[in-house]
Structure 1
Amino acid sequence: MNLNKLKAILLILGIMLFKPFQVIAADKSDYKTPPQYVEYKASKNAFSIVVNGKSASIYLDDSDWKGVIRAANDLADDVRKVSQIKPDIFHKSIYPAKGAILIGTIGKSKIIDQLIADKKIDVSEIKGQWESFIIQTVDGNLVVAGSDKRGTIYGIYDMSEKIGVSPWYFWADVPAKKSNQLFVKAGRYVQESPKVKYRGIFINDEWPSFGGWASIKFGGINSKMYVNMFELLLRLKANYMWPAMWSSAFNEDDPMSPALADEYGIVMGTSHHEPMMRSQKEYTKRKQEIGDWDFVKNSTNLEKFWFEGLNRNKNYENLITMSMRGDGDVAMGKGNDLDNIKTLENVIKSQRDIIQKVYNDDPANHPQLWAIFTEVQRYYDAGFNVPDDITLLFCDNNWGYIRRIAPPKEKNRKGGSGLYYHIDMNGGPNNDRWVNTTTIPKLQEQFNLAYQSGLDRIWIVNVGDLKPKELPIDFIMHFAWNPDAYPASKTMDYTINWAKGIFGKEHAEEIADIVSKYSKYNLLRKAEVQTPQIFSYVNHNEADRMLQLWKDVTAKAEALEAKIAPELKDTYYQLVLYPTKASAGVAEIYLSAGKNQLYAKQGRVSANDYAQKAKDLFALDKKLSDYYNGPMSNGKWKNMMSDIHIGYTTWQMPKENKLPELKEVMRLAEPAMGIATEGSEAAWPANQEKLQLPVFDILKKQSYYIDVFNRGTGSFEFEAKANQPWIKLSSNKGKVEKDVRILVDVDWKKLSEGKSTGIVEIKKDNEIIAVSVNAVKAALPKLKEPFFGNFTGEFTIPAYQFNANKPGKDAKWIVLPDLGKGKANMGISYVTARNITTEDGATLEYKVFLPTTGKSTVCLGILPTQDVYPQRGLRIGVTLDDQTPQVLDARKGFHDEFKEYTPEILARSSVLKPYPAINKNIALIGAGQFRRNEIFDNMRWLDFEIDVKEPGIHTLKVIMIDPEIVLEKIVVNPDNNYPSYFGAPPVLHNSK
């Protein structure tokens, strides 16, 4: 064997033997933490970045990309932040025999190319690939080699993060983790190309917060500000951006902005309604010169305008937005779709001709996108399409549910398909701008659906002001790189790792729990669509339960703040404490206002306390925001928390924060008794009808309350007495200054079977008021398995609490933890399954007790999945026992015209008919704006009837047909006499 062959074999063996942190594609059902190849104590053959007060030097080739050289300087400074020792940087192609960090791009760096030629490194896995890199210890040196400019930059920043510098060090004031020793394990780390090619953010809706902050901090939305954003994107391994556009012209306001974007390595684009690299503001300030934004009447001037814009940016890396909408991001033309389609055909042909002229090249060689936004969806559905090399950018519904999966006919499209997605919204159906209201489980479910179906060329996310949307931005960029690494079952693992990377290991689980809960509670009802009437104050203790959730998570966040290291206090306030405490405060404002309004109607003097509580919370909200905009981080984020977020009546942001209407109760001169019962908003004496509690049911395991309240000045004493021994009272007497609550329960051992009635008498002086008590006791079902059901009224079944989960031919139901309003939802794996029928679909089975024969109503609560596959529908099968399955289509009645959201569209559920309990709480607020609908409620209801042949235990079956449907809950016998937002709390019988 000759010497060269021996060297080659040894090299291969060396590579095989030293791969302790080689990345292997994560299994689709298994989350794997990214390898931590940096260590703080040296292992065998480890490379020393910093040891004994000295740092390894960095070597670069001057011929490499400017962005690579700039990032390498960042790495040197990051090492300094961690260790207090800054590496020297040498721009040479000759490097020491050992002890150096060698950084470069294949084909641009003589250092890297020589290592390849000498067979010191094997780059076969990354050469010619998009944005990939290797990090490898070789002959005592550490090599960072990228397949292209961004590949190298990502490798550099990957090391920065591993040594302890967070990508969020500027944008969330995360301090570097300190260590006087830094090592890299011996071995080879290969980062494969991202699964989504273009991954980025859209700064939008940027005034007053972001724009006000940038004006104070940088003198405007300019290159001084943008370089910090470019760096964040690169540290998150993102590559694409739409710049702020409300009052800014990225390319003209500061010509250094596009130049630096290109130098850094950021692909620039423009928003969905700004074609050919021209911002809307570039047009509006030239409007008199250019003329109308009307291609039919003014094509010559518009073509000139577009040519000049693209020609100006031709030397930069761009992703060109094509087509056009009406001026100001509205529908184009007079509403005639056929005419608009013909016009757009001419627009795109003209724009392609401009690309040809500017680049003197085939337009197919220059990436372009067509945003299928709002009314453009109709044009596409009607058959209008664009050249095959243009990426089809499909959109969500503005509130986080994608409107289309990649159509099968586009499977082999050269330009592929992508997704424009909102975690911030200014416009219909309603603003969602203030703090984070998007949970990681929801993002995982929706982006997984997008990715698996083929929306994988571009992901661009409307992030508003960027802050305080740090967590969802972080997740989306990680997920875009490799969606398979983040299955639904491990979303909390991701969040814990995020918290660990910023705050350290000690409190990571607590922080992950807090940020998961505050965003989940916000998603239950976002601040901008709150009203005092959303949650029920008299049924199922719903408002009180909602309030307690907020109080618990706030208490946890406040308690943990005391344990956070001083240098992390500002970071904690931004990422954890402020969004939690402020969100809880806004929620409690509306809950307090709701109680104030109800109690005022009932005549309770305590109504005034809730009015004062709302006012105090309103003042606290300002105090919290003022701290964010003031002392926090030494004033760094002044103006950033300026969005108005209390008092919306239409989708437009109000001029100022405004409290809901508050009522004042004038006290009577003397103490006076009033009585209110659970289940009714009416109270005695304003309501002279007979007072009664909801029916006690042996299977519901509930207690009910009677409130004895004061309507006047001073206090009074009362006595309470039941006329039946089976009625239990929490108290038999008391002194009432404002309110006293008596809990009523049943001693079922003392109650005979059948229907029983009794009375609780409330006595004040010579005044006696009777409250009727009714109870139903019957023989309990004989079943050892867990089951749901009762003898009276509605009952709720959480979808994840099934008795059996039977896989189908090509798919199965899986648990989606923490998705939706409860602990979990049920979704489908795989979401690309097709041609399923009720005979071979995956089936969930639930044991239910139904006490009477005849027809019963059942409602399936599903997430408001959009009309993602209009040629097919959104179908799900249901049946009782072995009856013939019914097929429900969630698309029936679906309104996906995506015109301006009208009250009629918002009010109706996109189903056969809405769950009746919704109807009573629909409130018409302000300028015709409804606040109850499937989008705001994050729930669509599918109603159907079952035929109960005989009383007893039955099996309710839910059969998957179309895989995009996500099931949250089932409500049986919905009871509109006791309406509520969440429905009756579930009671599982025979549970262990």
Structure 2
Amino acid sequence: MAEGQTQLGGLPQYITQNPVGTSFPIKVGSKTASIVVDPDDWKGVIGAANDLGDDVRKVTGVPSIVVKSQQLSKGNIVVGTIGKSKLIDGLIASGKINVSTVKGKWESFIIQTVGDNLVIAGSDKRGTIYGIYDVSEKIGVSPWYWWADAPVKKSNALYIKAGKYIQASPKVKYRGIFINDESPSFSGWAKANFGGINSKAYVHMFELLLRLKANYLWPAMWGNAFNEDDPMSPVLADEYGIVMGTSHHEPMMRSQKEYTKRQKEIGAWDYTTNAENLKKFWTEGLERNKSYDNLITMGMRGDGDVAMGKGDDKENIQTLRNVVSDQREIIRKVYGKDPAEVPQLWAIFTEVQRYYDAGMNVPDDVTLLFCDNNWGYIRRTGPAKELKRKGGLGMYYHIDMNGGPWNDRWINTTTVPKLREQLSLAYNTGIDRIWIVNVGDLKPKEVPIDFIMRYAWDPNAISADQTDDYMRNWATGIFGKEHASEIADIVSKYSKYNLIRKPEVQDPRIFSFVNYNEADKVLKKWKELTNQAEALEKKMPNDAKDAYYQLVLYPAKASAGVAEIYLAAGRNNLYAKQGRISANDQANRARELFELDKQLSERYNKLVDGNKWQNMMSDVHIGYRQWSMPRENSLPTMTEVTPLSSPAIGVAVEGSTNAWPNAEVQAELPQFDVLDKQQYFIDVFNRGTGMIAFTAKPDKPWIKVSASGGHTAKEQRLYVTIDWKAAPEGKNSGNVEISQGDTKILVAVNMLKANAPLAKVPFYGGFSGEFSIPAHKFSANIAGANAKWKVLPNLGRAEACMGISPVTAPSATPDNAPRLEYNVFLGKGGNTKVCLGILPTQDINPSRGLRIAVSIDGGEPVITDARKGYVDTFNEYTPANLKNSLVLKPLPPLGADYALVSRRQQRRNEIFDNLRWLDVDLDVKQPGMHTLKVFMIDPELVLENIVINPDNDHPSYLGAPPIEHQTASTLKSKIVIK
């Protein structure tokens, strides 16, 4: 960590390049302090001491020599484990250090200047290792120095400020990652660099985990067997201090591959018919691994990570009970002690959650490992009945997914604000024993891995409004302070834009090309981000360029490229339908981007850090038609347009996918009104070869067109506005005539100039149908009896969301609930549809619901349950079921209804959209200014957006953009529109 960097959680920055008082010198002039470690201390501690010595070399050019000794001498760094190091125990006995705050605690340490020495003392093996690596990071060696080629901060002198620094135990006990879905990328990389996924590859992973102060690993299991492929892997894991486990469906420390290669010998993976052979198989696995530090997965699923049995839950539950009972007996025999003394977990994954809800459980000392929905939304908060269980509660969480509801593998699509919101919900409801995260290939998920491991140490240290601070800290720790804010901005934006629509579920029909300039705005954001990332690359010093490409430029530029491919394909599809010859330009642009995507991946795989990451960026990520990875990248379907033999005019208008002169209805622009003062476009295009010359003439003096005509070989966009000073009051109509020779096309223009509200406060709304309100743009935020609404910056698709603090608050009624108020102007009375856009929170507490209430003015609040129409389809997300159920089918009209969209309407559901819509009908007594009120009923819902009067004739993905009107008191018209 660079000098001067703010620390969120953990210890403050104690490293300085200048002496302060009696600070301890690590490096002065050409001399470095030696590192002294007891030769009888843990091998992992000695290894970390050697790493620190080399880290001093990386930073200063001169290594710190590691001395194995039990004798103290002045001027040294003394490292050791309490009760394992005579050096440390001697300092304790002499009263020179007091370790009462950490002794006997889990993974804690002190760093203290003692006379002429610096002491790093850990409460246990990992505590000492963490203390050593804490010094490494603070002198300028990022935990990502190897895995992301993070540059080392150089210094000529290093000092530790005098004092005592105490690191308390982590709040989450086991914190780790699951290498999964590792083919073709991770497996291809490991084979090219290490000959396979073996101990040579894993030691780098062990070191990364320890530098991140993590401790737990589920190893790669797609055709890999950690314990058998390379017998040194478990030995080295234990020496390093990594707790090993196996995935949620690999019980008793046996990998699936260990079974499949013995299948003929063992027999069927069926406990009802083959229990004895399976027990023997499990016993042998535990015997092999019992001397290591393990966390044993209990239970059983079907062979290949599917539901077991024939679908009879009652029968499966009884079988599972027998399995767990027999597994406990195996543990008792192998370990020779009460199974309660051996760490175990039971993964409540997919259908197993049904069994748990039906009453299935395991002994109290086994950790219940709850899960998310595979796309980052947890399926259960900590059940109240389980909060006192000895084994505690854990979470299996995905930032990578191969399977249902759809693959999410290639690039990082998870934002830090989303992680903080969901993991805070888990932690604050008691899920704090295990956090294990499916990270796929590890790269390119560096940012979410870094955040989760740091956040797990102390979730209270990073609040919702500190996620930007974390991102700047992360960028500073790798790239230094100069460009940290801009790097943090780029990385935050590319992941946020990916979360709006993940690459694997992109489709040419997602964003609207005719309503609200939606596709143009999305494209503009991606282009601006790419330009920003490319410009900043030129400012990067040489030693930071590889890291910058991996962590910033590649994910931003490649993500933008994929997004634009689908936008170009969608525009091609529309333009081809309209007969525009420019459709071919869009197809060519998609092909250019497709080639660029290959080049970007090639650079990552072959040029970054001398071919170090060969094959790492090999996931197929363009052209998904079903949940599973295609065989190769492929472009979306596009159409080539054959131009007519002579110039021929065509006209398309905002708000419609039709084109004229061939459409059956008259061209018409959406309504203009005096409050929103809209600008709408008319596209004049060529359907043939040569140039078209055209004129554009409005038939009313108050209709303004950006050009009176033009010449174009392809297309020209005109903009239509209203001169509101000249416009007559009331509803009025006119036309713009677009003509080429004898071809004349009339475009209808409808406008409304009416009395607007004499509002003295900012408000949303208008005369022209649909409008939206960002949830955080409230006019009042009134606390309830036990909770309040809180702004959650950068969460979701917008600038911020509104969540509840605390998330553990009890449910409320409208009378005592916290509420948000919004000033709205409604141009008409009667039935008014209000659509609440909430994050897709799962049915996390089935005992009560996920309720929210809405009212207008003083009307009776209408309570709606987010579970209405919601079905937990997670249980269908298994490879066997996915094979036939999740395939690309024709899309419904996008935005046809803001209500919940069926999962069968592929690529438009609450998970893919990252938003769930709740519809409420309210009775508005009369037009004018009103107060919309939103009440919390249950605390876990997060509100992102409010859409009023949804316009299904002008559908879009993101909805009408919000327009905040400051006041309208200058409009004095007496016309009343009914």
* Bin of the TM-score, shorter chain as denominator length: over 0.9
Q: Specify the alignment match of 2:67 in structure 1.
A: 90
Q: Specify the alignment match of 1:368 in structure 2.
A: 344
Q: Specify the alignment match of 2:919 in structure 1.
A: 943
Q: Does 1:892 align with 2:868?
A: yes
The superposition leaves residues 196-219 of structure 1 with CA deviations (integer Å, 9 ceiling, x where unpaired) of 000000000000000000000000
Q: Specify the alignment match of 1:634 in structure 2.
A: 610
The superposition leaves residues 359-392 of structure 1 with CA deviations (integer Å, 9 ceiling, x where unpaired) of 1000000110000000000000011110000000
Cα distance in 2 for residues equivalent to 1:696 and 1:861: 26
Q: Does 1:118 align with 2:94?
A: yes
Match of residue 944, structure 2, among 958, 962, 968: 968
The superposition leaves residues 516-537 of structure 1 with CA deviations (integer Å, 9 ceiling, x where unpaired) of 0000000000010001000000
Q: Does 1:985 align with 2:961?
A: yes
Structure 2 letter corresponding to 1:554: T
Q: Does the CA contact (< 8 Å) of 1:906 and 1:934 recur in 2? A: no
- Residues 508-519 of structure 1 aligned to structure 2 (within 5 Å): 508-519=484-495
Q: Specify the alignment match of 1:186 in structure 2.
A: 162
Displacement after TM superposition at 1:899 (Å)? 2.4
Q: Specify the alignment match of 1:7 in structure 2.
A: none
3-state SS in 2 of match to 1:674: strand
The superposition leaves residues 489-547 of structure 1 with CA deviations (integer Å, 9 ceiling, x where unpaired) of 01010000000000000000000000000000000000100010000000000000000
Cα distance in 1 for residues equivalent to 2:601 and 2:264: 41
Q: Specify the alignment match of 1:871 in structure 2.
A: 847
Q: Does the CA contact (< 8 Å) of 2:490 and 2:529 recur in 1? A: yes
Displacement after TM superposition at 1:32 (Å)? 5.9
Cα distance in 2 for residues equivalent to 1:448 and 1:689: 54
Displacement after TM superposition at 1:35 (Å)? 1.0
Structure 2 letter corresponding to 1:657: N
Cα distance in 1 for residues equivalent to 2:16 and 2:899: 60
Displacement after TM superposition at 1:898 (Å)? 2.2
Q: Does 1:401 align with 2:401?
A: no
Displacement after TM superposition at 1:991 (Å)? 7.0
Alignment CA distance shift 1:181-1:93 (3 Å): same
Q: Does the CA contact (< 8 Å) of 1:914 and 1:943 recur in 2? A: no
3-state SS in 2 of match to 1:550: helix
Q: Specify the alignment match of 2:111 in structure 1.
A: 135
Cα distance in 1 for residues equivalent to 2:107 and 2:868: 44
Cα distance in 1 for residues equivalent to 2:894 and 2:313: 35
Structure 2 letter corresponding to 1:738: K
Cα distance in 1 for residues equivalent to 2:46 and 2:905: 54
Q: Which piece of structure 1 moves more, 474-483 or 173-182?
A: 173-182
Structure 2 letter corresponding to 1:140: D
- Residues 210-359 of structure 1 aligned to structure 2 (within 5 Å): 210-359=186-335
Gaps of 5+ in 2: 969-978
Q: Specify the alignment match of 1:816 in structure 2.
A: 792
3-state SS in 1 of match to 2:610: helix
Cα distance in 2 for residues equivalent to 1:809 and 1:984: 34
3-state SS in 2 of match to 1:429: coil
Q: Specify the alignment match of 2:30 in structure 1.
A: 53
Q: Specify the alignment match of 1:670 in structure 2.
A: 646
Q: Does 1:851 align with 2:827?
A: yes
Q: Does the CA contact (< 8 Å) of 2:900 and 2:917 recur in 1? A: no
Cα distance in 2 for residues equivalent to 1:277 and 1:907: 35
3-state SS in 2 of match to 1:552: helix
Cα distance in 1 for residues equivalent to 2:402 and 2:630: 12
Cα distance in 2 for residues equivalent to 1:771 and 1:527: 37
Match of residue 101, structure 1, among 77, 88, 99: 77
Displacement after TM superposition at 1:886 (Å)? 1.2
Q: Does 1:454 align with 2:430?
A: yes
Q: Does 1:584 align with 2:580?
A: no
3-state SS in 1 of match to 2:875: coil
Q: Does 1:616 align with 2:595?
A: no
The superposition leaves residues 683-718 of structure 1 with CA deviations (integer Å, 9 ceiling, x where unpaired) of 012313211100112222320000000000010111
Match of residue 42, structure 1, among 16, 19, 36: 19
Displacement after TM superposition at 1:897 (Å)? 4.9
Match of residue 424, structure 1, among 400, 403, 406: 400
Q: Specify the alignment match of 1:743 in structure 2.
A: 719
- Residues 199-210 of structure 1 aligned to structure 2 (within 5 Å): 199-210=175-186
Q: Does 1:933 align with 2:912?
A: no
Q: Specify the alignment match of 1:727 in structure 2.
A: 703
Cα distance in 1 for residues equivalent to 2:754 and 2:937: 38
Cα distance in 2 for residues equivalent to 1:178 and 1:695: 62
Cα distance in 1 for residues equivalent to 2:886 and 2:326: 38
Cα distance in 2 for residues equivalent to 1:33 and 1:752: 66
Alignment CA distance shift 1:379-1:422 (3 Å): same
Match of residue 55, structure 2, among 64, 68, 78: 78
Displacement after TM superposition at 1:914 (Å)? 13
Q: Does the CA contact (< 8 Å) of 2:702 and 2:724 recur in 1? A: yes
The superposition leaves residues 650-674 of structure 1 with CA deviations (integer Å, 9 ceiling, x where unpaired) of 0010000000011000011111000
Q: Does the CA contact (< 8 Å) of 1:268 and 1:319 recur in 2? A: yes
Alignment CA distance shift 1:398-1:495 (3 Å): same
Q: Does the CA contact (< 8 Å) of 1:534 and 1:921 recur in 2? A: no
Match of residue 672, structure 2, among 696, 702, 713: 696
Q: Which piece of structure 1 moves more, 615-624 or 982-991?
A: 982-991
Gaps of 5+ in 1: 1-20
Displacement after TM superposition at 1:810 (Å)? 1.0
Alignment CA distance shift 1:750-1:906 (3 Å): farther
Displacement after TM superposition at 1:70 (Å)? 0.6
Displacement after TM superposition at 1:906 (Å)? 8.3
Structure 1 letter corresponding to 2:59: V
3-state SS in 1 of match to 2:681: strand
Q: Does 1:158 align with 2:123?
A: no
The superposition leaves residues 831-865 of structure 1 with CA deviations (integer Å, 9 ceiling, x where unpaired) of 00013211111100001111222111110000000
3-state SS in 2 of match to 1:624: helix
Cα distance in 1 for residues equivalent to 2:598 and 2:894: 38
Q: Does the CA contact (< 8 Å) of 2:402 and 2:408 recur in 1? A: yes
Displacement after TM superposition at 1:43 (Å)? 0.9
The superposition leaves residues 91-116 of structure 1 with CA deviations (integer Å, 9 ceiling, x where unpaired) of 111111x3110100000011111111
Q: Specify the alignment match of 1:15 in structure 2.
A: none
Cα distance in 2 for residues equivalent to 1:852 and 1:503: 55
TM value normalised by structure 1: 0.95
- Residues 138-149 of structure 1 aligned to structure 2 (within 5 Å): 138-149=114-125
Displacement after TM superposition at 1:174 (Å)? 1.2
TM value normalised by structure 2: 0.96
Cα distance in 2 for residues equivalent to 1:337 and 1:631: 53
Displacement after TM superposition at 1:905 (Å)? 9.5
The superposition leaves residues 241-263 of structure 1 with CA deviations (integer Å, 9 ceiling, x where unpaired) of 00000010000110100010000
- Residues 645-664 of structure 1 aligned to structure 2 (within 5 Å): 645-664=621-640
Q: Does the CA contact (< 8 Å) of 2:151 and 2:479 recur in 1? A: no
Cα distance in 2 for residues equivalent to 1:851 and 1:572: 51
Cα distance in 1 for residues equivalent to 2:356 and 2:723: 64
Q: Does the CA contact (< 8 Å) of 1:55 and 1:85 recur in 2? A: yes
Cα distance in 1 for residues equivalent to 2:592 and 2:887: 33
Q: Does the CA contact (< 8 Å) of 1:525 and 1:937 recur in 2? A: yes
Structure 2 letter corresponding to 1:607: A
Displacement after TM superposition at 1:228 (Å)? 0.2
3-state SS in 2 of match to 1:845: strand
Q: Does the CA contact (< 8 Å) of 2:894 and 2:955 recur in 1? A: no
Alignment CA distance shift 1:390-1:735 (3 Å): same
Q: Which piece of structure 1 moves more, 744-753 or 347-356?
A: 744-753
Q: Specify the alignment match of 2:360 in structure 1.
A: 384
The superposition leaves residues 724-774 of structure 1 with CA deviations (integer Å, 9 ceiling, x where unpaired) of 111111111111110100000111111122101011011212322110000
Q: Does the CA contact (< 8 Å) of 2:870 and 2:900 recur in 1? A: no
Cα distance in 2 for residues equivalent to 1:943 and 1:933: 15
Cα distance in 1 for residues equivalent to 2:360 and 2:348: 11
Cα distance in 1 for residues equivalent to 2:863 and 2:275: 51
3-state SS in 1 of match to 2:870: coil
How large is the RMSD of aligned CA atoms in angstroms? 2.0
Match of residue 743, structure 2, among 754, 767, 770: 767
Displacement after TM superposition at 1:921 (Å)? 13
